[in-house]
Structure 1
Amino acid sequence: MVLLPIVILLMGLGVPLSLGQLAPVPDIIRLGALFDGTEVTPLEAAFIHGINMVNDDRSILIRSRLTSAIDKVPQSDSFKASKKVCQMATSGLAAIFGPSVPSTANHIQSISDTFHIPHIETRWDYSFDRGDYAINIHPHPSSLSKAYADLVKAFGWKSLVLLYENEESMIKLQEVLKYPRHVDTIRLTVRQLYTDTDDYRPLLKEIKTSGATKIVLDCAFNKIEKVLKQADEIGLISDYHSFLITSLDLERVDFSPYKRSNVNITGFRMIDPASPQVSHYLKKWNYRAGDGKGEFHPLYSENILMYDSVRVVAKAMDDLAQIEGFSLNPISCRRSQPLEYGPKLAEYIRRVEYMGLSGEVFFDADGFRTDFQLDLLEKRRDHMYKIGIWTPDVGINVTLTQSEVEGQIVEKLQNKTLRITTSDTTPFIMKKALDVPKEALERMSFEEKYEGYVIDLVKELAKALKFKYKFHMVMDGKYGNVDPKTGEWNGMIRELQDQKADMAVIDLSITLERQSAVDFTMPFMNTGVGILYKKKAPPAPNLFSFLSPLSLDVWIYMTTAYLAISIQMFLLARVTPYEWDNPHPCKSDPDELETQFNVKNALWFGIGSFLCQGSDILPKAISTRMVAGMWWFFTLIMISSYTANLAAFLTAAKMDVPINSADDLAKQTKIKYGTYCCGSTNSFFRGSTIPTYTKLNAFMESAKPSVYTSGNQEGIERVRKEEGAYAFFMEGAAIEYHVERTCDLTQIGGLLDSKGYGIALPPDSPYTSTVSNGILYLQEAGILQQLKIKWWKEMHGGGKCTGSGGEDSAQLGLPNLGGVFIVLLAGMIASCIIAIIEFVWKKRILLQDENESLLAEMWGDFKFAVDLRASDTKPVPKEGSRAGSKSILNDGSHYGTNILEGDREGRKTDHPDDESPYATFNDNYSTTKSHKG
């Protein structure tokens, strides 16, 4: 180190200087290597290949040549290994490589420490206590353990099984074992592979039965394929299982048997095949694809580490040769003479910074390799692909974008036929009404035999995500509940856990308990618990129901008030002088006065005002106007009150129910209520802490006989059968469907809670997010709403009870308002009868001659009345007519021409302004008052 500044200074001054003169190096540098066994191994070939490539590289050790001293030792024979090293050292050794067996390697390390020979290892070694001359190019297990723990954390695994081979594996995976200490929700199970047999099927079957889907496998490379093959035989190689394999040589594993399987296999590698250094290495090796597999592949990690270790030692010796130079003295184990430049060479090896085939090579002061990078690999079809990197400082960094990840999942989904389990539940899945022979029915597909909302939903979802599917009915007909005795799930949930189905699509409520057992997508339909009840039978229609808004007493009082007001108006009009007028405005000094409020007109004024139609007769005096104003105010209030209450009284019978909410049910005991015994609705009441629902649950559990049912259909039938004595709690979507078709059923109040129907998938399914995105697309496109309208409002009698003619319509029928028509008809008939009476009476008075025919006179007038061609004027009878000479008044006035123009004596009639005999007749019936001159 002292010579280095001097050399630099002299070169800076331009002094010609030969490094060879200052740094002598041996022409031949021997590297010793011990390999286990007796045959040529791939590791030995990599060692020789590394030496040859260093000799071919003229940029390193240009004045020296590497040679190898290779020997074989039996495994675990430390005595022979030490003897071989001593034999190699007699000719001078720069470093010793190997062996791989830990017990032998530890003995060789002791020799290297004694004789100061750098000991280069490529095996994984968990020991933190290393000699001064021990250098291991293999990443330390503690760093690899951190990488595995970071991967588990990045993937968010909540439950995993650690499947290991021996005790050394526990050291390699110590960070994974510590992970549950930091995260309480992690469930870790540790299982060891059998040591006395290579049949691991019983162990793997136990893992499958436990429901575990995340497995960390740590075993020898040559056992990986056997473990995976046996796992495939029992169904652990599926879309829903993930394997983290700790071997750094996953690319050397044959995954062709699982090409069509979407099992998730991940791991790490050190060697990037796409790097320029690796390409050059393979070219020099004369490697052809398929020449070597597994441990015999040139890129097998131990082979690459051996190659990199040769390059690291060569580079360290080159650095030492350029600065100080070195020599290799012979070593005798008997004389305990160490290698003179051994400490310098070991120091330079630890200082090396080299970009090798296994990545950047750095060593710390203790000789551990640090700051290395691993590539994260994932299986696609039958190859491993890089999806990210790991570094000690940053951890896992996935290089795939979210769209790329989703694209891979969609690609997997498109190559898969999903098995969908479901159940016969209206209107989600219903049998079609088919009239075919039994043999033909058995040959028909599921979609030919069944129809419903679920089939349409899956069809639209498959169209959006481009997957294939196949339906089947759940074996036990249940949705999924935990057996209290065994603690195991049944129904569709069980089929998903056993991977007998890939989806469960039905009105399956998303609950916390189910969510812990399987995966759920986002809801495709939102609902809640409602109350189903039977409508009260409406009373028999009352033709005079329009009288209901007012009681009988009020009607009597109103009639009495009307008569009283009419009489009062008549009397006040006769009393007050301001209601008397001159009937002949042409006379300045009238002989008589007249009032318009006779009995008939007073009654007409009262009824007209009461019915808000007004009248052509209006009061003039203050007193009569006061009465009229009070009467109008009275009628305004009464008519407004009547109008406001009429609709309510006519529809009150339809809305009359004894309960209106869950609180009403909880406050009474007359009406029983229950739920389906084994569903999410019952679980809602059992788990609720709301006082009202707790009270309802306590009543249902203690009721005798039981109020629980074996299904929703039984609950519906019980509601209808017990005629208002039973209410049934069920989910709002089902209530809505049945209320649309069974008109005597109704929903009481609103929903008691809020829940959703989701598609269930096996635990940790890779397709959960993708299917959720598909449901979101259907929702945004309005397809879910269209399907809801189709199967709830349209198909199979939908809308029956909400149509224009349904019982639930707000329109009133003839039975409710028939009395109004009866009153109208009665008034019309009464008016006709009165008109006939008036007609007969008037004609009888006018006809004084008994010889004249009354019927003939009446018939003539009747024909004139019904003759549509006749005008609106009627001729006055002439003198020559049958009634022209008859007297109709006691004072001598005549009916006819002489009445209008004068009698035979030339006297004027008393009523010159009258236009017809009818006016004269009416004058005799008017109320008059004479004034004396």
Structure 2
Amino acid sequence: MANFVCIFFCFQHFFILFHDTGAMPESSAETIRGSKSSVHIGAIFDTDNTLDGVIAEISMNLAISDFYALHPNYQTRLHLRVTTAKDLVDTAGAAVDLLENFQVDAIIGPQISAAAPFLVELGEKSQVPIISFFEASPTLSLIESPYFIRVAENDSVQVKAISAVLQKFNWHEVVLVYEDTDYGTGFISYLVDALQETNIRVAHMSAIPKSAEDFQISKALLKLMTMQTRVFIVYMNTALASRLFALADQNGMMSKGYAWIITAGLSNSLNVLDSDVVDSMDGVLGVRSHVPKSKELASFDRRWKRELHLMKPNSPLTGINFSGLWAYDTICALARAAEKILPPTNPSFVKPNTSESRIDFASLGAPRIGSRLRDELRNTRFKGLSGEFNLINRQLESSVFEIINVIGNGRVVGYWTPEKGISQNLGPNYKNGLKQIIWPGDSTTTPTGWAIPSLKIGVPVKLGFPEFVEQRKNGNKTTYTGFSIDVFSAVLETLDKDLGFKVLHDFIGFEDETGLMDGSYDDLLLQIKNKKFDAVVGDTTIVANRTDYVDFTLPYSESGWTMLVLAKGDNRKNMWIFLKPWTWDLWLTVGTSCIFITIVIWVMEHNTENTEFRGSYRRQLAMILMFPFYAFVIPQRELVVRDCSRFVLVVWLWLAFILMQSYTASLSSILTVDKLEPTFDNLERLRTKDHFIGFQRGCFVGNLLEKQFNFSRSQLKSYGTIQEYHEALSNGSKNGGVTAIFDEIPYIRVFLKAYGSQYTTAGPIYRTVGFGFVCTYTTIENETKMDEIEKRYFGEKVTSATLAPTISTGSSSLRAFNFGGLFIIAGIATLLAIAISERYIWQRPVAFIRQYLTSDHPANRIELAAQPTAETDAGDHSPEVHQDSGNSGRISGRIKEDIAVE
């Protein structure tokens, strides 16, 4: 339907032109064509309103004069006919006019991309080559349009260069901003396919109409500002692009963090843009065709500027662009091709027989040299001003692209070739990468490609424990310091290194109008749920019920909470500390053991030749008391003579050695470790009304004491600073203070660092996860740095191991029960020795039992008589039978004799 509309307007324009000038006879057309060696070329530009049209016209006129000045012997001459066209209808009418009235052999144009499809179709019907060095719609198929020739870079190659630039800077998402025309949408389809091949995602596509007002462009830009992606690829004509970048600069989108890439069509025309527009594009990257420097190019540039001054003295142009160079080379290529085909002597156009009343494109005729001129152009190769002129499938070959940084008219920072990719230079001195780039906002830091809004970090505001979080105000400036802040900063350093860009953030104190904390920690965390804060950084404990509405990182501090109470004092200041290693029951047991063993040895040694155990009662009593010490003081002296006594002495020395070593170890521990004993460690007694309990203001511990530990609310008191802790514990419950304070271990560490000689911890540690940040999980890469931060605030690493001596409340004294097995073994060994040595001790009861059995049970007398005792056998070998109780005196006397003999 669009083609029929174009044709209708074409004929309407043609008939208006026909009625104004009158029908031109065939003889007149022949006169215009001139000599038989002339080849007429038509051009359709807008030389009145566009700079590209002026540039192309000057370049083509210079090309004709330059070419035939260098080739005066050529038998053909090109005659150029430039027609001005401002819109689609003008272009269609101009094309028909050139074919009908001037019978051109080729048409150069159009400058208006929307008119290209119609002009290409017209050229195919009339068999006239349509040659374009302007950016026509990429949707035009060169295969389906055999008479269409593009003397410009191949868009399919250009998109590969753009994709390589994106990969170079690790940009994985882009926003496409393009002209909402067939010209724009055709190129975008090429670009999207190329980006998909390299796994680059198109986050958004913004199509801006060619006729859009400034407010419409600004509205589209404001929408782009709300997106996280900060890489924009712009594909549009120079007029629309100039307005776009001027408005982008006004809206702050040409600042640090943004990245803009322009395609070749715009990059090739930077030198024809207004200086204010170019200034607004500072920092933009562009991809453009590469033109090798040469003497011919420099000479042409001077002559071109001179011609511009003569033809357009008031023109704002300052130099030629790529379209002008391609226009020059196009004329040179046509002149070479025309010389090779030498047009015939008969008229070039063949007019078919048609009815005068019928209007058809066929009536325009077909030039005899159209197809031959097209074919010869395809085979024409030479070195032009823009480089090697070589048409591949009627498309100018593009093998090298420049990557430019828009500073002024653009400086080359690198090149792209299909073989080597991106490099800083061409030729043998190949160097990978790109030169230094100045990005928007005069930044030398490569944009990340996407923006994270500055994170709003909530920080608790409190007077106590500044070691963790402290707010400092200096006029309008507020800073935050402390252990938690430093840990968070260290985490961000690691995160920035992993992400490759800096995460922006702002600390915001959670405070009310008076400058105090606006609620509890739970209230602070709820602000994340309410979208007031993005994260919370501070001494925030990870508690199960809080995870229902926020997410925590892994903990970064010691976990748990416990009880803080007054200490009794330093044990090392006690004059009776030497008794501390053993409890009273162990001292008593050891003393009793010493006396028992001494008595056993005295019994065994008393009736021997050993003079140490003889003498007065006082001397023997002294020996009983002092003998255990003699064994250690005079080890070389023979204190005992009997074997059983020696055995008991060895047992005693073994027992004493173990006890002595245990005593020494326990005493050393007491003397070397400053261990404070708590004055109160009974949790059950705390629940009585006589005691008050303290906790940190705003901490979760208060709720736990009331709900889980069943403390009355009237018993609980909250405090905010370590000074308040000190006063409350010093006063005690009877004087308006508290008996104990429950708090988390990190806070207790801070308190004990200041008042460690007066207070200690007691009772068990109630475990929690520890402090955590309410944000995405990160870790500090260097653990040494974490240790440095802890030492800076606490002096040493906060761990359970370092806190354990303070928290322990059990006695370190050794009890008798600890050596129960040792005493049992020694006792059994001692009893066994005395039983073997002093048999009369157990033989006398046996004899009495035997006498009793003999007197009361006559039936047993014969049995007893038949079994003489060992004592009888040993003392007298003649058997004696005792049959009545009258012999008991003799038995008793015999036993005494045996004992005496032994």
TM-score category, normalised to shorter length: 0.5 to 0.7
Counterparts of 1:394 and 1:735 in 2: how far apart (Å)?
A: 64
Alignment partner of 1:626 out of 647, 672, 687: 647
**Equivalent position to 2:112, from 93, 101, 118:** 101
1:134 paired residue among 134, 145, 148: 148
1:564 and 2:596 matched: yes
Tell me if structure 2 keeps the 8 A contact 1:34–1:98: yes
Paired with 2:446 and 2:421, the residues of 1 have a C-alpha distance of 33
1:198 aligns with 2:224: no
Residue 329 of structure 2 corresponds to: 308
Distance, in Å, in 1 between the alignment partners of 2:298 and 2:130 is 29
1:736-747 equivalence runs, <5 A? none
Contact 2:130–2:149 (CA under 8 A) maintained in structure 1: yes
Alignment check: 8 A CA contact 1:372 1:392 kept? yes
Distance between the aligned counterparts of 2:680 and 2:295, measured in 1? 85
Q: Which residue in 1 is equivalent to 2:411?
A: 385
1:190 and 1:415 mapped to 2: Cα distance? Answer: 23
Partner of 2:304: 285
Which among 268, 271, 283 is matched to residue 287 of structure 2? Answer: 268
Alignment partner for residue 374 of structure 1, among 389, 401, 413?
401
Question: Could you list the per-position Cα deviations for residues 606-662 of structure 1 after superposition, in whole angstroms to 9, with x for gaps in the alignment?
Answer: 1365xx666575435344432322111111222233344556678697699999xxx
Partner of 1:637: 658
Tell me what 1:792 maps to. 793
Given candidates 78, 82, 95, the residue that maps to 1:82 is 95
* Aligned equivalent of 2:44, options 18, 25, 34: 34
Matches within 5 A, 1:108-119: 108-119=119-130
Distance 1:750 1:182, change over 3 A: farther
Aligned partners of 1:54 and 1:311 also within 8 Å:
yes
- What code does the residue aligned with 2:174 have? L
What's 2:731 paired with?
Answer: none
Q: How does 1:541-580 map to 2 (within 5 A)?
A: 541=569, 543=574, 547=579, 549-577=581-609, 579-580=610-611
1:214-229 to 2 correspondences below 5 Å: 214-229=231-246
**1:536–1:111 distance in 2 versus 1, CA, 3 Å:** closer
Number of aligned residue pairs:
661
Aligned to 2:60: 47
Contact 1:146–1:175, Cα closer than 8 Å, also in 2:
no
In the TM superposition, 1:142-221 aligns within 5 A as 142-168=156-182, 169-178=184-193, 186=201, 188-193=203-208, 195-199=211-215, 200-221=217-238
* Structure-1 separation of matches of 2:793 and 2:313: 65
Hey, what does 2:515 align to over in structure 1?
Answer: none
Question: In 1, distance between residues paired with 2:695 and 2:807?
Answer: 32
- Alpha carbon RMSD of aligned pairs, Å? 6.5
2:565 maps to 1:537: yes
Structure 2 match to 1:437: none
Counterpart of 1:632, as a letter, is L
Matching residue's letter, 2:556 = G
Q: CA deviation at 1:53?
A: 3.3
Q: Provide the C-alpha distance between the structure 2 equivalents of 1:46 and 1:483, rounded to a whole number of angstroms.
A: 70
| Map 1:344-423 → 2, pairs under 5 A | 344-365=372-393, 367-379=394-406, 382=408, 384-391=410-417, 412=443
Q: 1:68 to 1:137 in 2, by over 3 A?
A: same
* Map of 1:68 onto structure 2: 80
Q: CA distance change for structure 1 residues 483 and 599 in 2, over 3 Å: closer, same or farther? A: closer
CA contact (8 A) 1:454 1:506 kept: no
Q: For residues 475 and 232 of structure 1, what CA distance do their matches in structure 2 show?
A: 34
Letter in 2 for 1:46: S
The amino acid that maps onto 1:118 is: P
Distance in 2 (CA, whole Å) between partners of 1:270 and 1:192 is 25
**SS of equivalent residue, structure 1 residue 173:** helix
Distance 1:608 1:315, change over 3 A: farther
Contact 2:127 2:371 (8 Å CA) reproduced:
yes
> What letter is aligned with 1:210?
M
Q: CA deviation at 1:299?
A: 3.6
Opposite residue 249 of structure 1, the aligned amino acid is: L
Q: C-alpha separation between the residues in 2 aligned to 1:50 and 1:655?
A: 105
Shift of 1:45: 1.6
SS in 2 for 1:163: strand
The structural deviation recorded for 1:344 is 3.1
Taking the aligned partners of 2:239 and 2:279, their CA distance within structure 1 comes to 20
2 CA distance for matches of 1:191 and 1:407? 26
8 Å Cα contact 1:249/1:301 also seen in 2: no
* Mean Cα deviation higher: 147-156 or 215-224: 147-156
Q: 1:372 to 1:714 in 2, by over 3 A?
A: farther
- Taking the aligned partners of 1:214 and 1:94, their CA distance within structure 2 comes to 46
Instruction: State the secondary structure of the residue aligned to 2:565.
Output: coil
1:655 & 1:89 partners in 2: Cα distance? 116
Matched residue SS, 1:31: strand
Match of 1:13 in 2: none
SS of 2:399's equivalent in the other structure is coil
- Cα deviation, 1:827-854, whole Å, max 9, x if unaligned, reads xxxxxxxxxxxxxxxxxxxxxxxxxxxx
Q: Structure 2: which 5+ runs fail to align?
A: 1-34, 353-363, 426-430, 448-453, 461-465, 494-503, 512-517, 542-552, 682-692, 711-717, 729-737, 814-902
The CA deviation at 1:312 is 3.2
Over 3 Å counting, the alpha-carbon distance change for 1:275 and 1:338 in structure 2 is same
TM-score normalised over the length of structure 1: 0.55
1:164–1:217 contact (8 Å) kept in structure 2 = yes
Q: Deviations over 1:642-687 (max 9, x none)?
A: 344556678697699999xxxxxxxxxxx9999999xxxx9xxxxx
Instruction: Check the 8 A contact 1:159/1:187 in 2, yes or no.
Output: yes
Q: Report the AA paired with residue 218 of structure 1.
A: Y
